[in-house]
A and B are shown apart, each in its own frame.
Chain A
Amino acid sequence: MSEFEKLKIVTKYELLKQFRRKRFYGALVLTLLAVILVIALYKGLDIPGKLPISDSPEFFALFVTSAGATIPIFAAVFFAGDSIASEFEHKTGYILFPNPVKRSTLVIGKYIACLTVTALIVILAYVATMIALVGIYQQLPIEVFGSLVLALVYANSVLGIAFLYSSVLKGSMGATIATLLTIMLVFGVIEISLIFANIEPWFMHGYAGDSIASVYGISFAAFGGAMPGGGMERNPNPITSFFVMLGYFIVPFILSIWLVKRREML
């Protein structure tokens, strides 16, 4: 049996595991509630009326999907944080690892399953937004699809980072928290410092992630308010950002495979 056949088997059962967990359905419901809440706030508080910008389907989509930009982060961390670590922490590895299957196959299968469920959550958020767009404006700006692709690539990069921590750390909880801290705190601090130093942080994770919003082509200056670093616009190039985010997946993920191959089941 080829390793590819085994990869299909691993993926199938990892997916079964994901779909059996309440976590997945909880994430679906929370995502839907979050999107509905943001739409309600947008309309209820008349957000565009408070800004020097006119209401448009593009702005609506930008607001809803970027306010929901934390959804990809949480979804990815939620599913991936414990993917590797739990095999060690909860001792299921004693059953799984002594099998004629490469560790790399196990990691990749787990990743595909995590990516699938994460993508389902992100897609749900966008479908809800699209339904709202059609319902309210009878229009579907093409940029929404670009934003969706970028959101998926963004979520994927979070998966890569979560897999790395999950491969190194003892506990699932530690891996989850470390991933969130890295993305929201460490990367954030570096990025802001760069902006203050007047260097465009196009290579930073969060900045690239902002392409989820910048793809709509609405100037962020419209939001008013003081910009740090002498008013540099947060306007990441979507194409560059796409590849930057891919890098944030590939490097940690390869590292993760290498680490799991060597990791001892103590």
Chain B
Amino acid sequence: MYITKLLTMRESIVIEGLSKYYDGFLALDKLSLKIKKNEDVALLGPNGAGKTTTLKLLCGLLRPSAGTAYINGVNVMEERERAISMVGTILETPEFYPFLTPVETLSYLGRLREMSGRELKSRIEEVIKLVRLEEWAKVKIEKFSRGMKQRLALAQALLHDPPILILDEPALGLDPRGMMEVREILKKARKEKTVFLSSHLITEVVQVCDKVALIDHGHLLVYDSIPRLKRKYRTSLEGVYLKLTEATI
């Protein structure tokens, strides 16, 4: 017990034999993956490959059919709240309470994450500025577009300055400038954080991540650093992706 704990401590994220069935349909098949502290890993794969499923399992939103996962050595399935306190996350297409404003929403989440007072207030201003929602800080979220909600989702993920970011398609629904801005935010975040993100944007992945885990139909195909993959398959990351994944979904 103690030994496994020690061994998992050096890793930010450890996924061990994780499987997930949805009503008999195998969406994720014995996935194992280790992400070291400060490593930045992209989860790539076609639609329906199991990316969102993996990230949801990692955040304790789903119960695995088999296997387990650790965040900074804390078992997600056993101590969900403690594990998640070290994580900032965006999952699927998140929604917010429509009657609250970004400031109120972030205050609520910040309080739950044990922030308070002036520290919380100035941090809220900071993240709102970071995602460029200053003009909208006190507008009810019911008036927001998809992309604005996505920006707010990124703001809340960064709010408590977590050491680990778990992001499911963070640039989804953003305009070209928004995508670029998110990329810049993540490029900065990766310096001091572990980033684990799923994405369909190869350009984003190349700039933000140093390793790629490619999955298809719930199976892990490769897990390696981007330069090594390029060398091995003698092509671009996009080429590797097209070579290894199947055309059928």
Interface residues of A (CB under 8 A from B): 1, 6, 9-10, 13, 16-17, 20-21, 90-95, 97-102, 262, 264-266
Contact = CB atoms under 8 A, between A and B. Distances in A.
B175 interface: no
Contacts, number: 77
Given A6-B112, A95-B109, A264-B61, A17 B84 contact: no
B112 A99 contact: yes
B87 A98 contact: yes
A238 B99 CA distance: 40
B89 interface: yes
B143 interface: no
B59 A98 contact: yes
B142 to A, nearest CB: 10
A101 B156 contact: no
B104 interface: yes
A203 B100 CA distance: 42
22 contacts: A1-B114, A6-B112, A9-B112, A13-B111, A17-B100, A90-B95, A91-B92, A95-B95, A95-B96, A95-B105, A95-B156, A97-B60, A98-B59, A98-B60, A99-B84, A99-B109, A99-B112, A100-B84, A102-B81, A262-B63, A265-B56, A265-B91
Contact of A92 (B60, B84, B89, B96): B96
Contact of B81 (A17, A93, A101): A101
Interface of B: 22, 56, 59-63, 81-82, 84-85, 87, 89-97, 99-100, 104-105, 108-109, 111-114, 153, 156
Contacts of B61: 93-94, 97-98, 264-265
Contacts of A17: 97, 99-100
Contacts of A9: 108, 111-112
A95 B94 CA distance: 6
Contact of A21 (B63, B90, B94, B99): B99
A92 B93 CA distance: 9
Nearest to B116: A1
A16 B140 CA distance: 13
A16 B92 contact: no
Given A91-B94, A94-B91, A264-B63, A100 B108 contact: no
A93 B90 CA distance: 11
A264 B89 CA distance: 17
A21 B104 CA distance: 15
B112 A101 contact: yes
A100 B113 contact: yes
Q: Which 10 residue pairs across A and B have the least CB separation, nearest first? A: A20-B99, A100-B85, A265-B61, A94-B94, A91-B95, A13-B108, A9-B111, A99-B112, A94-B91, A100-B81
B95 A92 contact: yes
A91 B93 CA distance: 8
Contacts of A93: 61
A171 B129 CA distance: 35
Contacts of B82: 100
A90 B142 CA distance: 12
B100 A16 contact: yes
A259 to B, nearest CB: 13
A20 to B, nearest CB: 4
A102 B80 CA distance: 9
A94 B91 CA distance: 6
A193 to B, nearest CB: 37
Nearest to B101: A20
A169 B114 CA distance: 32
A264 B153 contact: no
Contacts of A92: 94-97
A100 B63 CA distance: 17
B60 A95 contact: no
Contacts of A262: 63
Contacts of A101: 81, 112
Contacts of B108: 9, 13
A23 to B, nearest CB: 10
B64 to A, nearest CB: 10
Contacts of A16: 100, 104
A126 B91 CA distance: 46
Contacts of B109: 95, 99
A31 to B, nearest CB: 21
Best-surrounded residue of A13, A95, A100 (most CB of chain B within 10 A): A95
A1 B108 CA distance: 15
A190 to B, nearest CB: 34
Contact of B100 (A20, A91, A266): A20
Contacts of B105: 95
